[in-house]
Amino acid sequence: MSRNDCDYIIDLLGDWHPVTAKRMFGGFALYKQEQVFALILHDTLYFKVDDSNRTDYEAAGSEPF
pLDDT tens per residue, range 37-65: 999 998 888 999 999 999 999 999 988 77
Contact predicate 30/37, CB 8 Å: yes
Q: In degrees to the nearest 10, what's the CA dihedral of 47, 50, 51, 54?
A: 10
pTM above 0.75, yes or no: yes
pLDDT at residue 43, as a whole number: 84
Q: E-strand spans in the chain? A: 19-24, 27-32, 35-41, 44-47
